[in-house]
Amino acid sequence: MKFLKSRKNRILVIAGAAVVIILIILAVNKGSDRSGTKVTAEKAEKRTIIEIVSANGKIQPEKDIKISPYISGEVIELFVKEGDQVKKGDVLARIDPEIYRANYDRMRAMLNSQKAAEANAQARVAQVEAQFRNAELSFNRSKTLWEQNVISDAEFDAAKSSYEVANAEQDAAAQSLKSAQYSIESARASLSEAEENLVKTTVRSPSDGTVSKLNVERGERVTGASQFSAGTEIMRIANLESMEVNVDVNENDIVRVSLNDTCVIEVDAYLNRKFKGIVTEIATSASTLGVSADQITNFNVKIRILQESYQDMVDTTSNIRSPFRPGMSATVDIQTETVYNALTVPIQAVTTRADTTGLVKEEDANIEVAALRSEVKEYVFLVDNGKALMTEVKTGVQDNTYIQITEGLEEGQEVITGPYRAISRRLKNGDAIKVVDKKDLYAEEKK
């Protein structure tokens, strides 16, 4: 009985082991059917790569003049409205001139008064000069007689005193004349200022252009410009035939932007239409937005919209010929660099991984090894006989789709391009892969 029982147990053990072996074989066969991770692949090819810096901004006229009056007062006349074309020197508005006219008349009367004072001073000079000559002759006679002991010392002293007083009065009269002349110059300057203020009650256009903005109405009071204030902006004169886009470029991208870079401009108001432009100005100082840790540092860049790119949209029958209006929103792609015949792969094919080639044992660790551990390099995965071959590369410029490979690849080599999660995290050197079409890969992911 014991023999039969032992034999029965041995049979059960063998049967159990057989079941386990069968399950393992099925699992292996199932895995081999999958043939590893499903991926998509594409060959490295030579293309033209255009590196782009994108930015958003507003359209503004290149020449946009803010018109503020020189003097304060009430606007009594307006001769233009928004959209009007004006020429340099055209009258735009008039400010109440009565106060300034009265001041001009007062300054003119003051000048005439100073001229009369100058005439009196000249007459006084002539008078004292005659008195001085008479006193001088009398003194000389008295001196001769005194030397001959004909007159007394007292008489000689009186003649000498009269001579000295006449001389002093002559000097005083000359200084009074100079003072009167200076007063005339001051009065003439005041009259010129009053006349200028009176003239400036008429506001004229400083250049040709279009009235793009009108801020006041007839009857409103305005403040004149001064050294402490820009005054009231009553209107703007803009050249709408020459427009530009003002954009803010991030500090990380501004180093790649240069003057005369070509640009592709998309205006929100004109869908499915692209315009050409060039970079005309790059700010040297940054503008900072936000507060504390959220500060964003940008640099202002101005891009001229080339007229030939919208010439067909110009309305020659309208006062405003340009299809653009100040303040329109636009998106700009600045083409910072172009490389021809560049060896390229899709952007998603390149991943970054930590370099582990310099790792050593913990007990031998030092600063140099720690630096190697933190170093990150760029890699692609090549398709190599059903396996993923991890290959280090060096990259160059890139556009929205492709990136240049400067080292590590040759034209025609097949690189894994998807799925991105596998390339960026899961795939390892030597992993089994199965190359499929994109539609099959995404169909599998949806399931």
Q: Shortest CA distance to 298 belongs to which of 255, 248, 343? A: 248
Q: What pLDDT is recorded for position 423?
A: 87
Other beta carbons less than 10 A from residue 92's beta carbon? 22
Q: In this model, does residue 444 exceed pLDDT 60?
A: no
Q: What pLDDT is recorded for position 131?
A: 85
Tell me which architecture the domain covering 53-59+242-339 has in CATH: Beta Barrel (2.40)
Tokens 């560049």 — which residue?
342
Angle, CA of 443, 446 and 447, to the nearest 5°? 90
Other beta carbons less than 10 A from residue 82's beta carbon? 12
Regarding predicted confidence, which is higher, 139 or 360?
A: 139
Q: What pLDDT is recorded for position 133?
A: 87
CB 186 within 8 A of CB 113: no
Q: CA 259 from chain center: how many Å?
A: 13
pLDDT digits (tens, 9 = 90+) for 281-310: 999 988 776 555 567 789 999 999 999 999
Flag the least confident range among 21-35, 143-157, 206-220. Answer: 21-35
Q: What pLDDT is recorded for position 91?
A: 94
Q: What pLDDT is recorded for position 79?
A: 93
Q: What pLDDT is recorded for position 433?
A: 87
Other beta carbons less than 10 A from residue 245's beta carbon? 26
Q: What pLDDT is recorded for position 293?
A: 58
Tell me which architecture the domain covering 37-49+343-446 has in CATH: Beta Barrel (2.40)
Q: Tell me the domain boundaries of the chain.
A: 37-49+343-446, 53-59+242-339, 69-96+201-237, 99-199
Q: What pLDDT is recorded for position 218?
A: 92
Q: What pLDDT is recorded for position 124?
A: 87
Q: What pLDDT is recorded for position 55?
A: 93
Q: What pLDDT is recorded for position 31?
A: 43
Say what the pTM is.
0.64
pLDDT digits (tens, 9 = 90+) for 100-152: 999 999 999 999 999 998 899 888 888 888 888 888 888 888 888 888 888 88
Q: In this model, does residue 9 exceed pLDDT 90?
A: no
Fold of 69-96+201-237: OB fold (Dihydrolipoamide Acetyltransferase, E2P) (2.40.50)
Residue 331, token pair as written in the block: 């998106």
pLDDT digits (tens, 9 = 90+) for 236-251: 999 888 899 999 999 8
Alpha-carbon gap, residue 9 to 144, rounded angstroms: 172
Most confident of 51-60, 347-356, 368-377: 51-60
Q: What pLDDT is recorded for position 22?
A: 56
Alpha-carbon gap, residue 95 to 409, rounded angstroms: 75
Q: Shortest CA distance to 180 belongs to which of 123, 125, 119? A: 119
Instruction: Kindly state the DSSP code that residue 293 receives in the 8-state scheme.
Output: G
Flag the least confident range among 309-323, 394-408, 430-444. Answer: 430-444
- Whole-angstrom Cα Rg for the chain: 47
Same fold for the domain at 37-49+343-446 and the one at 69-96+201-237? no
